[in-house]
Amino acid sequence: MPETDTTLGGARRLPWRTAEVRDVIDETPRVRSLYLSVPGWPSHRSGQHLDVRLTAEDGYQAQRSYSIASAPEAPQLALTVEVIDDGELSPYLAREVRAGDRFEVRGPIGGYFVWTAALGGPLFLIAGGSGIAPLMAMLRHRAAVASHVPALLIYSSRTFADIIYRQELDQLAAASGGPRVVHTLTRQQPPGWTGAARRIDRDMLAEAGIAARAQPRVFVCGPTSLVEETTQSLLALGHDANLIKTERFGPTGALK
Amino acid sequence: MNPDESAMPAAPLDGNAAAGLLQEVFVFDATSATLTCDGCGATAEVGAARLYGAPMGAVLRCRDCDAALLRIARTPMGLWLDLKGSRSLMIRLNGGA
Amino acid sequence: MQDPPIARGFRGRRPPAANDRIPPGQHLTSDFPVLSAGPTPTPRLESWSLALQHGGALLGKWTWREFEGLPQTRVKVDIHCVTTWSKLDTNWQGVTVDTLLQAAGLSEPPQPYLMVHSDGAYTTNLPVEDLLKGKAMIATHYEGKPLSPEHGGPARLLIPHLYFWKSAKWVRRLRFMPHNEPGFWESLGYHLYGDPWREQRYAGD
C-alpha cells in the first residue's frame, strides 16, 4: 500500500551529506555558531540533532552529535559548538573551521526532544549554557511561523559574557508576541545586574516559571546536574512527568 | 547536544541521545516508540529512558526499576540488538491516536 | 563510493608513537574515564557480601569485615579499555582470586569457567585459569585510597591482561560454570575472551 510505504519507507537509512561552511559567528569566547549549506538536506523539526563526521587527510575519521540550532524555516543549517578543552571535534569546529571548509553531516536525528508549533503550548524552555541550542531552534521556529503559543525561556549562564544568542534573545523578547526570557547568572554578575544570580532552583521555577496548571510542554537541556535538579523541582511543583522532556549533555557522539 | 567528549560521565544520558544508533536498526524514529518494562510493567518513550553504556553500546534502562529494556551495540560483524527486558515496543504510526 | 571531503586541518586524536606497553589500536590517557552499563550503586558496607558459588552450592561467603581481613596484595599494572584508552602504572590493592579460593578451602577450581556477577545485573565471563597465579584480584583500593563508587567501589574485579570490561565493577558473586557462556557485553557482540594484545574486541576478531 502506498501509504504504508510513505510511513515506513520515509525513514530510510540516513546518508552522509557534504556540508559547506558559509559563515562562522563567535557567540561567546568559548562558543561559535557554524552556518552550513547542505545540498539535499531534508527538513528537520526543532530540537533534533545531526551527526558530524570529520575526515583527516590520512582517512582518520571522528564523529559526534550536535543539536541543530536553526529553525527548519531558515535557509542555512546552524550548529552552535562549545569548546570542550579535552575534546576531539569541538576545538576544531569551534576554533579552526572557517567559511568554505567542508565536512560531512547526516540527519536529522531524533523525534523525541522535538517541538513544532502544531504541538501547541504553552512552551516552557529551561536551558543551561550551550544547552540553549536546541531550545533556540524552537524559539526561532516559533518566530518563523508567527506562532502565538505562550513561551518562556529560563536560561542559566555563568557570566554575562557567556550568554549565547544574547542579542537575538533580546530582540525576540522585545518583539510583539515574543517569548518571555529570564536570565540567571551563576558565577559573576555585571555592575547593575538586577536579574537572578543563582542556579535554577525550585523557587525560581515557581516564581518565574509557567505554572503546572497551565500544563506547559517543558523542555530542559543542559549539564546533567541542571537537568536532574530542574526535573525534580518541576515534578515537586506538580508538572506532569509526561510533559517534561530532557536532554543531558554527554558523550552521545561517542555512541558509534 | 554538544557532547562532553572529555570524560564518560557516570550519570546517564537521556534515551533520545541513542537516536542515531537506533535509526540504523529501525525504519521509524525509535525514540518516540513506547517500551513496556518486562520487569515492572512501567511504560515510557525510548527517548525518556535512561541511557548508559556509551561508547561500547547503548543500554536503555527503565526509569522506574533500572532494568535494561533495550541493548544495542555495533561491531564490525553487525548490529546486535537485545530487547528481552521489554514486554513490548509500540510504534505509533502517522495518524495513530 | 565517493571519497568523503577532507576537513582542512583536522587531525583528531592521533595514535601514539610506538610503545611496547600499548596494545595495537590503543592510545594513552592520563584520565581514568568512567564507563558504566548502569547506574552507580550506593555502597552499603553493612549489607555487602561476596559469594563464591558452584551450581546451587555456596562455596564461600564473606561480609565486608571478613573480606577486609583476608591477606592483601598490591599490584602496579597497565589497564586497557576496549574503547581504545590505555593507562599505565596504576596501583591497586585487594585480595587475589588465589587467596579467595584458598579461604574457601578449595585446592583447585571445581569448573573451568567463571561468571562474575555485579550489582545492577552486570555479568562477565572468564576462564578460571586466567584468574589464578596472581593474574586477578578483587580490588578495594586504587592509588592508596578506597575505590570510589564510580570506579567500582567498594570492590571490583581487576584482571588487567584482558580488556577492562572484564574487570567488572561492583562485584558481588563469582559463579563457576562447566562451559563458557557470554556475559553482558559478550552477548552483545563483544569478544568472549578479550585479549588486548590480539585485539580481541569483538566476536569474530
Helix (H) or strand (E) holding A169: helix A166-174
Question: Coil, strand, or helix at residue A95?
Answer: helix
Interface test with C, best of A17, A55, A81 (most C CBs within 10 A): A55
Give the pLDDT mean for A173-190. Answer: 97
Contact C9 A92 (CB under 8 A): yes
Residues of C with CB under 8 A from a CB of A: 4-14, 31, 83
Where is pLDDT greater, at C84 or A233? A233
CB B86 within 8 A of CB B36: yes
Residue of A5, A74, A40, A255 lying closest to B31 (CA atoms):
A255
What does the pLDDT look like over A145-160, one tens digit per residue? 999 999 999 999 999 9
CB C152 within 8 A of CB C169: yes
Buried b (16+ CB within 10 A) or exposed e, A186-196: beebeeeeeeb
DSSP β-bridge partners for residue B35: B44, B89
Q: pLDDT below 50 — which residues of chain B? A: 1-9, 97
pLDDT (0 to 100) of residue A148: 93
Q: How far is A132 from chain B (nearest CA, A)?
A: 9
Q: Among residues 3-62 of chain A, which lie with CB inside 8 Å of chain C?
A: 16, 18, 53-57, 60-62
Contact C150 B10 (CB under 8 A): yes
3-state secondary structure A174-227: HCCCCCEEEEEECCCCCCCCCCECCCCCHHHHHHHCCCHHHCCEEEEEECHHHH
Q: Which of A94-108, B74-88, C33-47 has the lowest mean pLDDT?
A: C33-47
Q: Of all residues in chain C, what percent are helix, strand and coil, respectively (each to 5)?
A: 15, 30, 55
**Closest residue on chain A to B48 (Cα):** A245
Where is pLDDT greater, at C128 or C85? C128
Cβ of A28 under 8 Å from any chain B Cβ? Answer: no
Asked if residue C53 has pLDDT above 60, the reply is: yes
Interface test with C, best of B24, B56, B70, B74 (most C CBs within 10 A): B56
Cβ of A251 under 8 Å from any chain B Cβ? Answer: yes
Contact B1 A250 (CB under 8 A): yes
Cβ-defined contacts of C154-159 (< 8 Å, 24+):
C154/C43, C154/C45, C154/C48, C154/C64, C155/C48, C155/C50, C155/C67, C155/C94, C157/C116, C157/C124, C158/C75, C158/C77, C158/C92, C158/C94, C159/C126, C159/C130, C159/C131, C159/C135
Residue C19: which pLDDT band, with cuts at 50, 70 and 90? confident
Contact B77 C36 (CB under 8 A): no
A vs B, Cβ pairs < 8 A, gives: 147
What does the pLDDT look like over A34-70, one tens digit per residue? 999 999 999 999 999 999 999 998 888 888 889 999 9
Contact B15 A256 (CB under 8 A): no
Where is pLDDT greater, at C105 or A84? C105
Starting at the edge strand found earlier in the chain, the sheet holding C113-118 runs C57-63, C49-54, C171-177, C113-118, C123-127
Question: Coil, strand, or helix at residue C196?
Answer: helix
Rounded to the nearest 5 degrees, what angle is found at the Cα of C162, between the Cα atoms of C157 and C165? 55
Cβ of B25 under 8 Å from any chain C Cβ? Answer: no
CB A73 within 8 A of CB A141: yes
CB C12 within 8 A of CB A91: no
Facing residue for A248 by CB, picked from B13, B24, B45: B13
**CA atoms within 13 Å, Cβ hemisphere of B44:** 29
Residue A251: which pLDDT band, with cuts at 50, 70 and 90? very low
Cβ of B67 under 8 Å from any chain C Cβ? Answer: yes
Residue C17: which pLDDT band, with cuts at 50, 70 and 90? low
Give the pLDDT mean for C171-177. Answer: 97
**ipTM confidence score:** 0.87
Contact B58 A49 (CB under 8 A): no
Facing residue for B59 by CB, picked from C31, C37, C204: C37
pLDDT (0 to 100) of residue C18: 62
Cβ of B3 under 8 Å from any chain C Cβ? Answer: no
**Closest residue on chain A to C35 (Cα):** A251
Cβ of B8 under 8 Å from any chain A Cβ? Answer: yes
Buried b (16+ CB within 10 A) or exposed e, A225-234: ebbebbbebb
Give the pLDDT mean for C124-147. Answer: 96
CB A154 within 8 A of CB A208: yes
Residue A250: which pLDDT band, with cuts at 50, 70 and 90? low
Rounded to the nearest 5 degrees, what angle is found at the Cα of C93, between the Cα atoms of C122 and A86? 70
Taking the CA atoms of chain B, what radius of gyration do you get in angstroms? 13
* Average pLDDT over all residues of chain A: 90
Rounded to the nearest 5 degrees, what angle is found at the Cα of C33, between the Cα atoms of C29 and C37? 145
Most confident of A60-64, A224-228, C160-164: C160-164
Neighbours of A13 (CB within 10 A): 9
Q: How far is B41 from chain C (nearest CA, A)?
A: 18
For residue A18, the chain C residues in CB contact (below 8 A) are 4-5
Give the pLDDT mean for A122-133. Answer: 97
Chains that touch B (3 or more CB pairs under 8 A): A, C
Asked if residue C160 has pLDDT above 60, the reply is: yes
Chains that touch A (3 or more CB pairs under 8 A): B, C
For residue A113, the chain B residues in CB contact (below 8 A) are 14, 16, 31, 47
Q: Please, what sign has the CA dihedral across residues C78, C79, C83, C85?
A: negative
Asked if residue A20 has pLDDT above 90, the reply is: yes
Q: Which three cell numbers stand for residue A36?
A: 552550513
Residue C1: which pLDDT band, with cuts at 50, 70 and 90? low
Q: What is the percentage of chain C residues whose pLDDT exceeds 70?
A: 97
CB C114 within 8 A of CB C131: yes
What does the pLDDT look like over C190-204, one tens digit per residue? 999 999 999 999 998
pLDDT (0 to 100) of residue C14: 59
Q: How far is B95 from chain C (nearest CA, A)?
A: 35
3-state secondary structure B19-36: HHHHCCCCCCCHHHCEEE
Cβ of B50 under 8 Å from any chain C Cβ? Answer: yes
Asked if residue C24 has pLDDT above 50, the reply is: yes
What does the pLDDT look like over A5-19, one tens digit per residue? 222 333 346 889 999
